[in-house]
């Protein structure tokens, strides 16, 4: 017999929890969906016209459902108590202290959620892990839930999210697959029946708990590995007059390889790839598999190299010095169509350019200036959480902001394209060229302007991998 789901509570109103729950509410009008968070500001933003997450198509869906069967609230306990199904969708950042520092996932927030659920629940509930978690986390969650204050009982499912930022709504609408791992068929079927409202059954894959948890880490590791692999080849292309985009399309036609995720870039970013690989590395070490750990760690090392290589190439090309030169930074988000900057390559590129004493003028269409300053401050922050006066001064005196790519580039020695925003291709390149110092260098970390014939317009154009 199926456990009926009529009330869902999702703990964590972030990039994953918000859009996912909006889609469930949109597709399941018979289910009441409450998204809760300890961060009252974030909840207020979800209840305003300016959502905390920029995602094409998200505003529409939230507007349609909010106030009907979708609500955002800080009433965590009441919402958990009322729900048949509770999603845990909180952040699991890389642990920065103690055992496993720099690699292991910090499960503090997940554990706190589990304890809260155990404390306030009554009757029976299905608890769904949505956050990316190390394999065997469900074991810990189950043990915590086993000590419920009111003798509540629980099923634990793993339902990792595969949506990519910038295309979250498309991905949620038509997922390649939805993965549901669990132990009891009735509980698995309860979640299957939620997704079956809009996803065809052959795309709803069910596995055991551990396969589900591990598949999420493995999927992200494989995707990141493709980017690091093509980026490694991009360095070789630059040395050999091969063109990485030509190589990528040539190999992508092999159906065993496939054409997607072969775009060479200044380096991958985002909240998942690096964190999940480091977590995989940690797990391998924990289970006594150092060779496997080393294999995967190389994917992250290659990514670090790619970011450094980009700055080195800029400095070398610009006569070995960028000191006191204005550089227009186009894009700060980790990819287009998102306002997220977590692990964005731009943070590292800007840091290294600042250490070279360049003057940066930054423009991103969706990331706020405060947010960029916060990222730059934290990349210069020492272990004890404070920023030295010298580094603060470096930021104060060398970082400014613009409201367009034209403004960011006026009077600049170079442009660095760090995010592939579509609007960059529509910039007024003739005016930009006139306003820049000569030679007018363009370093395109996304090969976004490759087709624009900037060389023909007078610029000295350098992309990735050719």
Is residue 232 near ligand UDX by the rule CB under 6 A? Answer: no
Choose the contact partner of 465 out of ligand UDX, ligand ADP, none; CB within 5 to 8 A by kind.
none
Whole-Å CA distances, 190 to 117, 127, 193, 195, 285 = 19, 11, 5, 9, 36
Site string for ligand UDX, 408-447 (x = CB under 6 A): ----------------------------------------
Cβ closest to ligand ADP, residue 39 vs residue 455: 39
Is residue 305 near ligand UDX by the rule CB under 6 A? Answer: no
Q: Minimum distance from CB of 349 to ligand UDX (Å)?
A: 12
Q: What is d(CA 314, CA 416) in angstroms, rounded to the nearest whole number?
A: 9
Q: Minimum distance from CB of 76 to ligand ADP (Å)?
A: 6
Cβ closest to ligand UDX, residue 155 vs residue 165: 165
Please, are residues 443 and 310 in contact by the beta-carbon 8 Å criterion?
yes
Is residue 331 near ligand UDX by the rule CB under 6 A? Answer: no
Choose the contact partner of 39 out of ligand ADP, ligand UDX, none; CB within 5 to 8 A by kind.
ligand ADP
Tell me the residue nearest to ligand ADP as measured from the CB: 14
Q: Is 37 annotated as contributing to ligand binding?
A: yes
**Cis, bond preceding 273 (omega within 30 deg of 0):** no
Q: Is 83 annotated as contributing to ligand binding?
A: no
Tell me the residue nearest to ligand UDX as measured from the CB: 270
272 is catalytic: yes
Q: Is 73 annotated as contributing to ligand binding?
A: no
Is residue 270 near ligand UDX by the rule CB under 6 A? Answer: yes
Q: Minimum distance from CB of 74 to ligand ADP (Å)?
A: 9
Interface with ligand UDX by CB under 6 A: which range of 117-125, 141-149, 162-170, 283-291?
A: 162-170
Interface with ligand UDX by CB under 6 A: which range of 99-107, 158-166, 312-320, 366-374?
A: 158-166
Please, are residues 24 and 8 in contact by the beta-carbon 8 Å criterion?
yes
Q: How many other CB atoms are found less than 10 A from the CB of residue 191?
A: 23
Question: Under the rule (CB under 6 A), what is the footprint of ligand ADP?
Answer: 11-17, 37-39, 42, 76, 89-91, 109, 112-113, 131, 271
Member of 8, 24, 227, 233 binding ligand UDX (CB under 6 A):
227
Is residue 268 near ligand UDX by the rule CB under 6 A? Answer: yes
Member of 32, 161, 337, 375 binding ligand UDX (CB under 6 A):
161
Q: Is 14 annotated as contributing to ligand binding?
A: yes
Q: Which of 272, 284, 361, 405 is catalytic?
A: 272
Q: CB under 8 Å to 62, separation ≥6 — which residues?
A: 22, 46, 51, 70
Choose the contact partner of 87 out of ligand ADP, ligand UDX, none; CB within 5 to 8 A by kind.
none
Q: What is d(CA 386, CA 343) in angstroms, rounded to the nearest whole number?
A: 20
Cβ closest to ligand UDX, residue 100 vs residue 160: 160
Query: For the sheet containing 326-330, what is the strand order?
Result: 399-401, 359-363, 326-330, 414-417, 441-444, 460-462
Q: Is 57 annotated as contributing to ligand binding?
A: no
Annotated binding site for substrate: 161-165, 216-220, 256, 263-269, 334-335, 446
Q: Supply the residues annotated as catalytic.
A: 272
Binding footprint of ligand UDX on the chain (CB under 6 A): 161-165, 220, 223, 227, 261-263, 265, 268-270, 272-273, 334-335
């Amino acid at each position: 017999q199926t456990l009926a789901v009529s009330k869902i509570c999702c703990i964590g109103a972030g990039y994953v929890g918000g859009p996912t729950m909006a889609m469930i509410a949109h597709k399941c009008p018979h289910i009441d969906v409450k998204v809760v968070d300890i961060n009252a500001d974030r909840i207020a933003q979800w209840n305003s016209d300016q959502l905390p997450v920029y995602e094409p198509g998200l505003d529409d869906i939230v507007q349609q459902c909010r106030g009907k069967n979708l609500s955002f609230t800080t009433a965590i306990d009441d919402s958990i108590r009322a729900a048949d199904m509770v999603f845990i969708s909180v952040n699991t950042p890389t642990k920065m202290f103690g055992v496993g520092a720099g690699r292991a996932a910090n499960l503090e927030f997940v554990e706190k959620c589990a304890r809260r659920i155990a404390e306030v629940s009554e009757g029976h509930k299905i608890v769904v892990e949505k956050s990316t978690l190390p394999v065997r986390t469900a074991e810990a969650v189950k043990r915590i839930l086993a000590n419920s204050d009111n003798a509540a009982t629980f099923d634990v499912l793993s339902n990792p999210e595969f949506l990519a930022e910038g295309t979250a709504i498309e991905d949620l609408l038509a997922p390649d697959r939805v993965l549901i791992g669990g132990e009891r068929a009735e509980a698995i079927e309860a979640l299957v029946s939620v997704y079956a409202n809009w996803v065809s059954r052959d795309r709803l894959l069910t596995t055991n708990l551990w396969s589900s948890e591990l598949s999420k880490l493995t999927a992200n590791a494989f995707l990141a590995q493709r980017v690091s692999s093509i980026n490694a080849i991009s360095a070789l292309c630059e040395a050999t007059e091969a063109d990485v985009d030509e190589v990528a399309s040539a190999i992508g036609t092999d159906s065993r390889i496939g054409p997607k995720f072969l775009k060479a870039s200044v380096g991958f970013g985002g909240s998942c790839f690096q964190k999940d690989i480091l977590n995989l590395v940690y797990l391998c070490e924990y289970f006594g598999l150092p060779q496997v750990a080393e294999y995967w760690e190389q994917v992250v090392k290659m990514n670090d190299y790619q970011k450094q290589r980009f700055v080195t190439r800029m400095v070398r090309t610009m006569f070995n010095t960028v000191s006191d030169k204005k550089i227009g930074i186009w894009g700060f988000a980790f990819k287009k169509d998102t306002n997220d900057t977590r692990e964005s390559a731009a943070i590292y590129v800007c840091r290294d350019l600042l250490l070279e004493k360049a003057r940066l003028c930054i423009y991103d269409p969706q990331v706020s200036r405060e947010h960029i300053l916060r990222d730059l401050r934290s990349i210069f922050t020492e272990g004890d959480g404070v920023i030295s006066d010298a580094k603060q001064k470096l930021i104060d005196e060398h970082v400014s902001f613009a409201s367009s790519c034209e403004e960011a580039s006026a009077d600049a020695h170079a442009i660095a394209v760090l995010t592939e925003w579509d609007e960059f291709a529509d910039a007024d390149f003739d005016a930009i060229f006139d306003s820049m110092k000569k030679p007018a260098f363009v370093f395109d970390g996304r090969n976004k302007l490759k087709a624009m014939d900037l060389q023909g317009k007078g610029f000295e154009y350098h992309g990735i991998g050719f």
